[in-house]
Amino acid sequence: MKYAVLLLLLIGFNRVSAQPSDRVRDSLRDLSRKDHRLMMDRLGITELRPGPSGNPEAPNAANRDESKASPCTFLPDPLVFDNGGGVKTSQQWQLRRKELIDLFDSEIYGKTPETVPAVSWQVLEETDTTVGTYDVHVTQLRGEVDNTIYPDIDVTIDMELTVPSDTMLVPLILQFTWNLPAGWRRPPADGPTWEEQLLKQGWGFAKIYPTSYQADNGAGLTQGIIGLVNKGQPRKMDDWGTLKAWAWGAGRAMDYFETISAVDADRVVIEGLSRYGKAAIVTMAYDQRFAIGFIGSSGAGGTKIFRRIYGEQVENLASAGEYHWFAPNFIKYAGPLTPNDLPVDAHELIALCAPRPVFISSGSPDVEGHWIDARGMFLATAHASPVYELLGKTGLGTMKYPPEGAALMSGDLAFRQHEGGHTVGPNWPYFIEFAMRYFEP
């Protein structure tokens, strides 16, 4: 019991908690492996193909040779129904959208339960202060989840909301924020921070801490919001993974924005980087209240084509270190099935966002590395374009991979590979210019 309490504290339910010690990290890894193995047993799988290494010097380094990236020539068509019929109208697209959602639910991200306990938002603290030269009003919030169905598990959502002082109905950027210890934070880049850039436009921002309500490991799947709904039991094969749980939290944040006059809930952006970029595109795809997506270096499991043999692979995502992001069913695609057996691919996840605007951001492969596969993200964006066009919007407008720094943002889907590393940092000014087109009164 003591051990369970210790785990609860350290799994990441409190964003101010210390980082786990090596010993706790080892036991979390063991518990994740155990749950991963249990899911494999239930799927009747004995062995998985190992993924390549992210270390470019390793003998099994992930492929970064474009000529070897695309042995498969087939990509599922978002505009063809499962029965082979064509999708020709926006009404038909609504039906096709449901088909795609069912496939993403059962095979990749898992199904968000139909009833998840309610969240009530508490204001913990309100402060009038400044960010740079801007006067702001900051609210510390905690979303308390009703746990009467299983009182052993407490779940709370941590969020901080910052809006320009004395204004109403501002556009807002909701960021999935990393809970990094102080020493790990990057030094600020030159020039105004992203927060200052948003405040300059008169926009606000909110930071939601995903690990406050669902830990980022397999050990935590019997805890957090997933564990609460399952009353502490392991997941079923099409149960939601962590990305869907994180997206659920963003949806509850949106519920809160809908109740306050400071924020214009019709102009809320969802933003995230890397695994939180994956969570951001999943949020955007499923919750149609979000107006725009700003998706940073989300790579495999996010906006990169799964079928491409370049950088991170399905085999990595399905391993004990990352499978928790997905439904247990997804593990099958690392053996006996292959990524080519997936009924859907990442371009169709982007298409689920249509007709709402999405900006896909990547760093420079020379700086960020090739793991996230910038071209794979570009291709997914390009192949999502026909759905935008069917709905009367403008897609990416080209199938030609742009050089670093070129901003493809004349349509409702945007792509830009900046000159920096694993961050959205240098793309903020471009994203703001893109979003202004939709947010200007």
Provide the minimum distance between the beta carbon of 305 and ligand GCU in the complex, in angstroms, as a whole number. 14
Q: CA 368 to CA 424: how far, in whole Å? A: 11
Of 221 and 280, which has the nearer Cβ to ligand GCU? 280
Provide the minimum distance between the beta carbon of 275 and ligand GCU in the complex, in angstroms, as a whole number. 3
395 backbone dihedrals φ, ψ, rounded to 5° = -85, -155
Q: CA 87 to CA 382: how far, in whole Å? A: 18
Of 243 and 384, which has the nearer Cβ to ligand GCU? 243
Q: CA 245 to CA 223: how far, in whole Å? A: 12
Of 275 and 418, which has the nearer Cβ to ligand GCU? 275
- Cβ-based neighbour number of residue 53 at 10 Å: 14
Region 315-354 residues binding ligand GCU, contact defined as CB under 6 A: 316
419 backbone dihedrals φ, ψ, rounded to 5° = -90, -5
Give the up-direction half-sphere exposure of residue 204: CA atoms within 13 A in the CB hemisphere. Answer: 28
Provide the minimum distance between the beta carbon of 316 and ligand GCU in the complex, in angstroms, as a whole number. 6
Q: Tokens at residue 425, please? A: 């940092």
Of 143 and 301, which has the nearer Cβ to ligand GCU? 301
Of 62 and 407, which has the nearer Cβ to ligand GCU? 62
Provide the minimum distance between the beta carbon of 273 and ligand GCU in the complex, in angstroms, as a whole number. 7
Select the residue interacting with ligand GCU from 96, 97, 244, 275 (CB under 6 A). Answer: 275
Listed ranges 104-112, 169-177, 296-304, 425-433: which one lies at the site for ligand GCU (CB under 6 A): 296-304
Q: Tokens at residue 288, please? A: 């149609």
Q: Tokens at residue 169, please? A: 């109905």
∠ at Cα 205 (200, 213), nearest 5°? 165
| 374 binding ligand GCU? (CB under 6 A) | no
Q: Which of 338, 409, 329, 288 is nearest to 74 (CA)?
A: 338
Provide the minimum distance between the beta carbon of 274 and ligand GCU in the complex, in angstroms, as a whole number. 3
Can you tell me which residue has the tokens 């850039």?
197
Q: CA 360 to CA 277: how far, in whole Å? A: 9
H-helix segments, 304-422? 314-317, 346-351, 365-368, 374-390
Region 95-134 residues binding ligand GCU, contact defined as CB under 6 A: none
| 312 binding ligand GCU? (CB under 6 A) | yes
Of 204 and 299, which has the nearer Cβ to ligand GCU? 299
If 0-12 CB within 10 Å is exposed, 13-18 middle and 19+ buried, where does residue 370 land? buried
First to last CA, the chain: 56
- Residue 147, SS3 per DSSP: coil
Listed ranges 32-40, 63-71, 248-256, 297-305: which one lies at the site for ligand GCU (CB under 6 A): 297-305
Q: Does residue 141 contact residue 121 with C-beta atoms inside 8 Å?
A: yes
| 274 binding ligand GCU? (CB under 6 A) | yes
Of 282 and 291, which has the nearer Cβ to ligand GCU? 282
Adjacency order of strands within the sheet including 358-362 = 119-131, 134-145, 156-164, 204-209, 170-176, 263-273, 292-296, 358-362, 413-417, 407-408
Provide the minimum distance between the beta carbon of 318 and ligand GCU in the complex, in angstroms, as a whole number. 12
Of 279 and 344, which has the nearer Cβ to ligand GCU? 279
Listed ranges 113-121, 138-146, 181-189, 293-301: which one lies at the site for ligand GCU (CB under 6 A): 293-301
Of 368 and 412, which has the nearer Cβ to ligand GCU? 368
261 backbone dihedrals φ, ψ, rounded to 5° = -85, -10
Select the residue interacting with ligand GCU from 20, 52, 299, 425 (CB under 6 A). Answer: 299
| 156 binding ligand GCU? (CB under 6 A) | no
Select the residue interacting with ligand GCU from 300, 331, 350, 408 (CB under 6 A). Answer: 300
Of 246 and 286, which has the nearer Cβ to ligand GCU? 246
Torsion on CA atoms 421, 208, 104, 336, rounded to nearest 10: 60
| 314 binding ligand GCU? (CB under 6 A) | no
Listed ranges 202-210, 294-302, 338-346, 375-383: which one lies at the site for ligand GCU (CB under 6 A): 294-302
Provide the minimum distance between the beta carbon of 71 and ligand GCU in the complex, in angstroms, as a whole number. 22
Residues that bind ligand GCU (CB under 6 A): 274-275, 299-301, 312, 316, 371
